[in-house]
Structure 1
Amino acid sequence: MRRNTSILLLAVGHACVDIYQGAVAALIPFFVAERDYTYAVASGIVLAASLLSSVAQPVFGALTDRWAMPWLLPVSTLLGGVGIALSGLSGAYGLTLFFVAVSGIGVAAYHPESARVARLASEGSHSAMSWFSLGGNIGFACAPLMVAAAIGHGSLHWTPVLVLPALAGAALCVPVLRMLARTPTGHAEAQAPRSADDVASFVKLSLAVVFRSIVFTGLSTFISLYAQQRLHGSTTAGTTALFLLFLGGALGSVLGGSLANRYDRVRVSRWSYLLSIAAVTGVIYTPGPAMLLFVALTSAGLYVPFSLQVTLGQDYLPSRIGTASGVTLGLTVSIGGLISPLLGHLADTTDLQTALAPLIAMPALSWLVFRALPEPTAPGTRTATLTPATARHDG
């Protein structure tokens, strides 16, 4: 029961943080409408949230390998919320980029440490980690609804309302950290030797994560605008499409953990990426409301491997759990943002359908990578202390 309580609280906290990842994409149509941004300029906002995050997450992961920093959970949650809350207050593009980047740094600091703590609380359970990931998926799904509720009938000056989830998430971090610190599992176990690391497989896995990130972030950035065009609707059509893209991840994450208990993680991930190839094709080329069905299938297909990739990375790199989490969990939500301006420029010079078409190749590349990956024979269950004094490692 104690483990279930900890995972539940961590999952809800994860949802509060990932609202701010989803909020960046959800704010794009409002920036375009209110400030007359072009596709390329608007996608630069996604780049601002992703650029520092993509660099910072592995750095924070490496730091958590050397020192446990549980205080990062509430602090980074607040940072993520404050950045988004301030992003709509100034009409200056530079300040908007700055505040969104601040939010991205907060998200970057949160994920490696939260994945380490979730691994500790889950005791190596794939299902428990999938529930932790589910929290993030729900946060993504709620983001367009919260943004629409906060500023849909007003203006971007209402973005300060969006700080509320951060306040709730920071408060939820405190009891779970206290709970884990009091349990025997909160004390450090021997760190896996570096000779146990499968660096080659970890690098291959990271490539698959990057390809997944590109297709998911590309769709999340432009799906609202694309749905409005394809369905000849208002912003409601775009909000619905973005909501489905994020909500399908909830089903995918739980399904991934369940399937991994029956089959191995590598096989399940290969299946999901095959499904994603067809689903992304349907999103881009299927006319009418049927497009929304393919949006949901795409989300499920891309999220089945989500938590599985995190635990695979930790098992390929058992001596560097934080670094593995920072790369697999961090790159999933950041590297794709580096590609978004290129898609935006292509959309400005051609059209959105042409710009989104290359995304079909991304899950195919992830599938090819997974064909070359082994399933770890003895998944690591290394835990780490919640107190910096006992968590420090040499090297």
Structure 2
Amino acid sequence: MSTLATPNALSSKVTQNPTYKVLIFLGICHLLNDTLQAIIPAMFPILEASLGLNFTQLGLIAFVLNMVSSCLQPVVGIYTDKSPLPYLLPVGLSLSLIGVLGLGFAPSFLTILLFVVLIGFGSAVFHPEGSRVAYLAAGNRRGLAQSIYQVGGNTGHALAPVMTAFVLVPLGQKGASIFSIAALLAVVILFYIAKWYKSQLVYLPPRPGKKKGQSEWNKEIILALVLLVFIVFARSWYSSAISNFYAFYVISEYGMTIAQSQAYIFAFLITGAVGTFFGGPVADRFGRKNVIAYSLLLTTPMAIILPYLPPFAAFIVIALMGLVLMSSFSVMVVYAQELMPGKIGTMSGLIVGLAFGMGAIGSIALGVLIDTIGLNETMLIASFLPALGVVAYFLPKDK
């Protein structure tokens, strides 16, 4: 019998064995959703040439996308913690479908921003609700479940340079509309997942109350969340520097073409997806705090030497950085969810939404900095951001 058949068939498994079929379908949808988002920074070199946009405008596009996503994710999470809406998942992806279809034909900077907002709305709905489904399907392997879910998203982002080289460079801006097919596929799968999700609402943990022993806002939880915010800031700003602007650095310093420069971004993002997948199981065994701390601290020396390396060595190092840096992505979500187990959507929206928001602010700030002091100087400054991860040592222990 299919594991998706009935809630009764799953009742004995919800607290023990992961429901892998749901997690795999969810990861595929996350891949498709984040592929749509990845189209936008992938189009930056195309838009710079076709519409004459400057780095500040490109940063503003990324800012709008990520701010819409980040600001709405906690709102969606808070609301659906009280009143879960399973079919909100396909509805949100339908907005993204409209956005990506229009993006290929947008004639101006302002219309691009309009369709980017729609994609941002779709993403804001998907992420907290998708994380809740992963929690329900996790059994006793929450780190692994979040890794399966999050690796889909990171793989979707990793496809951006591939799309640039093989779709957007030959087809130009109109090539973006092709990805409406991916959005339609995601909508269809999400209707299927929403049906399973609806049958599992009985297994959601109760919202925390005032009784002793239940999750409450106390000093230790507030401290942990503040530190997580700071760590997400450091990781997201550095990731933004690499994914949005390192291609321009490679073109400038190594004399490569747009298509060739995308190999470096692809290496960073695809190994980041691998790191995301393995980070959860490693954290299940060795502790969430340890993975969070070492993911940034081990990245620091590689980030600092990256601007001084020749092309081949830079390629190797940037691939290793993606693997290490992103190993804590899903781990931070689980860490926050276990701080407040009755607020799964809220915590997911906070941490994942915060990652988008910090990336958004980083995109526009770095774009302005590049326009002001230069590309090389900005990349040198950004290389010290992972060192801020030292604050992870002050996080409360997992237990």
Aligned-pair CA distance for 1:321? 1.6
For 1:81, the equivalent position in structure 2 comes to: 97
SS for the counterpart of 1:36 is: coil
Q: Give the superposition deviation at 1:293.
A: 1.4
Whether the 8 Å CA contact 1:50–1:337 is kept in 2: the answer is yes
Look up the match of 1:321. Answer: 344
Shift of 1:49: 0.6
Q: CA RMSD in A?
A: 1.9
One-letter identity of the residue aligned with 1:177: A
Alignment partner of 1:134 is 2:151: yes
Task: State how far apart, in whole Å, the 2-side matches of 1:69 and 1:286 are.
Answer: 50
Q: How far has the Cα of 1:186 moved from its partner? A: 4.7
In structure 2, how many angstroms separate the alpha carbons of the residues matched to 1:16 and 1:335?
22
Instruction: Say if 2:383 is the partner of 1:360.
Output: yes
Counterpart residue number, 2:398? 376
Deviations 1:350-387 (A, max 9, x none): 3212112222232221x22211102332xxxxxxxxxx
Q: Which amino acid in the other structure matches residue 259 of structure 2?
A: T
Matched pairs, number: 375
1:101 partnered with 2:117 = yes
The answer for the alignment partner of 1:335 in structure 2 is 358
Unmatched tracts of structure 1, length 5 or more: 378-395
1:12-61 superposed Cα distances (whole Å, 9 cap, x missing partner): 01101111222221111111121222111221111111222221111111
Report matched runs for 1:171-186 at 5 Å: 171-182=188-199, 186=202
AA aligned opposite 2:260: A
Q: Is the 8 A contact 1:218 1:340 kept in 2?
A: yes
1:181 CA drift (Å):
3.8
**CA distance in structure 2 between the aligned counterparts of 1:339 and 1:250, rounded to whole angstroms:** 21
1:163 equivalenced with 2:180 (yes/no): yes
Mapped contact 1:127–1:254 kept (Cα < 8 A): yes
> Match for 2:254 among 231, 239, 250?
231
TM-score by length of 1: 0.89
Aligned amino acid, residue 208 of structure 1: I
Q: CA deviation at 1:65?
A: 1.2
Tell me the amino acid that sits aligned with residue 81 of structure 2: D
Alpha carbons 1:146, 1:162 under 8 Å: kept: no
What is the 5 A alignment of 1:251-270?
251-270=274-293
Give the direction of change, closer, same or farther, for the CA distance of 1:308–1:105 in structure 2 (3 Å limit): same
| Alignment TM-score, normalising by the size of structure 2 | 0.89
Question: Which amino acid in 2 is paired with 1:322?
Answer: G
Residue 150 of structure 1 corresponds to 167
Aligned residue for 2:300? 277
Q: Secondary structure at the match of 1:374?
A: coil
Q: Kindly provide the amino acid, as one letter, of the partner of residue 92 in structure 1.
A: S
1:39 to 47, 55, 58: 55
Mapped partners of 1:154, 1:206: distance in 2: 39
Match of 2:6 in 1: none
1:17, 1:81 within 8 Å by CA — same for their partners in 2?
no
Task: Return closer, same or farther for 1:283/1:88 CA change in 2, 3 Å cut-off.
Answer: farther
How much has 1:312 moved relative to structure 2?
0.4
Offset at residue 147 of structure 1 (A): 4.1
Q: What is the alpha-carbon distance in structure 2 between the residues aligned to residue 327 and residue 189 of structure 1?
A: 18
The percent of aligned pairs where both chains have the same amino acid is: 28
Whether the 8 Å contact between 2:275 and 2:325 is mirrored in structure 1 is yes
1:352 maps to amino acid? L
